[in-house]
Homo-oligomer: A and B are copies of this chain.
């Protein structure tokens, strides 16, 4: 049914190989023949068969991202991956695992059968043995965001413990003493790592770590909601909450709202992952992970591994920027990103902030800026 390279070649009066070379810009083809082939191809509306090409070249030109994809952080990662991959002529498959090891395993099997060139995996600890299997089959892969003990592979991740340390330190130096930590599942390394940074900061400040102030659960809004309710009923009541990711933070905000507590006046909140796309999160002090960059780096690493399969594994740790905004209640709190400021910017009906309307300008400097 479909037009084949042979037919294109026949129409152009050349051999299939020449047609192939013309269409792929590979090897030597005279300008004249190239033009004839291209004309024939477009006339027949030829669509190359990637399956056949993959079979012969044993390259599928496909990479896959295996992660709980449905969430802004991973969406950004995926974007970074696609960017680099597409530039290098690769397509990207998005495989949504929901962090479920069974789904993870099913997907990996599929990907191997289909001879995907390389896989970028956000793995749970449960999948160590599967990943070891991949190594045995010489399937190229890269770990992203999360490390897995016992698996030798290229890795890219953020400096989660460092950033958690700094955020905690910031809360401590602002004066908070009862900081609750709401984190993700135990089988995900980032959840442990962020909790670890929090603990170290407390210890370094000479404070006791109260393990019952650290709650682990899913990286979801509803767990954030539930956990915040739990922590806020503790005695002494926490004066600050640390959310180990952004979904958790949203749940926490909602919980505090229903409890009638204000942020940061009654409780400070800090979190991981930036989400300036979410209006409701724009005032959150956060450890802003370079998600897109992480995707880019992971892809480069993977492409390099494809080129040099025997190279020693690389481990890249990206710095995480701490963005101080207003939800932590410190004096440096970024007025540009406070709730009120956001409102002023977006609402046509809003009154000018007091400082601007009343302040600073000495002479009548209307229109000055």
Spell out A's residues near B (CB within 8 Å): 1-2, 45, 47-52, 54-55, 60, 69-72, 75, 78, 91, 93-96, 110, 112-115, 136-138, 220-222, 225-226, 229-230, 232-233, 250-251, 254-255, 258-259, 277-280, 339-340, 342-343, 346-350
- B-chain residues with CB within 8 Å of residue A78 when the two chains form the complex: 96
Q: List 7 A-B contacts (CB under 8 A).
A: A45-B136, A45-B137, A48-B113, A70-B75, A221-B278, A229-B347, A251-B279
The contact of A347 among B1, B258, B280, by CB within 8 Å, is B258
Beyond contacts A221-B279, A259-B343: 14 other A-B pairs, Cβ-Cβ < 8 A, are A47-B113, A49-B55, A49-B115, A50-B113, A51-B54, A55-B55, A70-B75, A91-B110, A93-B93, A94-B94, A220-B277, A221-B277, A222-B279, A250-B280
B221, B250, B277: the one within 8 Å of A222 (CB): B277
Q: Shortest CB–CB separation between residue A148 and chain B, in angstroms?
A: 21
Contact pick for A349, options B225, B233, B348, CB 8 Å? B233
| Closest 4 pairs between A and B when the two form their complex, measured CB to CB | A233-B349, A258-B343, A94-B94, A229-B347
The 8 Å CB contact of A55, one of B47, B52, B136, B343, is: B52
Bound-state CA distance A70–B342 (Å) is 25
What separation, in Å, do the CA atoms of A334 and B120 have in the docked complex? 45
A287, chain B: closest CB distance, angstroms: 22
In the assembled complex, how far is the CB of residue A319 from the closest CB belonging to chain B, in whole angstroms?
Answer: 26
Q: How far is the CA of A138 from the CA of B45 in the complex (A)?
A: 13
Q: A280 contacts which chain B residues (CB < 8 A)?
A: 221, 250, 254, 280
A228 to chain B, nearest CB (A): 9
Q: In the complex the two chains form, what is the Cα distance from A251 to B282 in whole Å?
A: 12
Copies of this subunit: 2
Inter-subunit contact B138/A1 (CB<8 Å)? yes
Using Cβ atoms and an 8 Å threshold, which residues of chain B touch A349?
A: 229, 232-233, 259
Partner of A96, one of B2, B49, B75, B348: B75
**B115 contacts A50, CB within 8 Å?**
yes
Give the docked Cα–Cα distance between A313 and B231 (Å).
56
| B94, B114, B278, B347: the one within 8 Å of A50 (CB) | B114
Closest-by-CB residue of B relative to A220 is B277
Please give, as numbers and ranges, the residues of chain B lying within 8 Å of A251 by CB-CB distance. 279
Contact A348 B230 (CB under 8 A): yes
Query: Once the chains bind, are A114 and B346 in contact (CB under 8 Å)?
Result: no
Interfacial chain B residues near A347, Cβ < 8 Å: 229, 233, 255, 258-259
Alpha-carbon separation in the docked complex, A69 to B1 (Å): 32
For the complex, what is the distance from the CA of A259 to the CA of B349, rounded to whole Å?
Answer: 9
Partner of A258, one of B48, B91, B220, B342: B342
Check A233–B75 contact: CB distance below 8 A. no
CB distance B94 to A69 under 8 Å?
yes
Chain B residues with Cβ under 8 A from A254's Cβ? 279-280
Partner of A115, one of B51, B60, B96, B259: B51
Once bound together, how far apart are the Cα atoms of A113 and B78, in whole Å?
Answer: 22
CB of A369, distance to nearest CB on chain B (Å): 23
Write the nearest CB–CB distance from A95 to chain B, whole angstroms.
Answer: 7
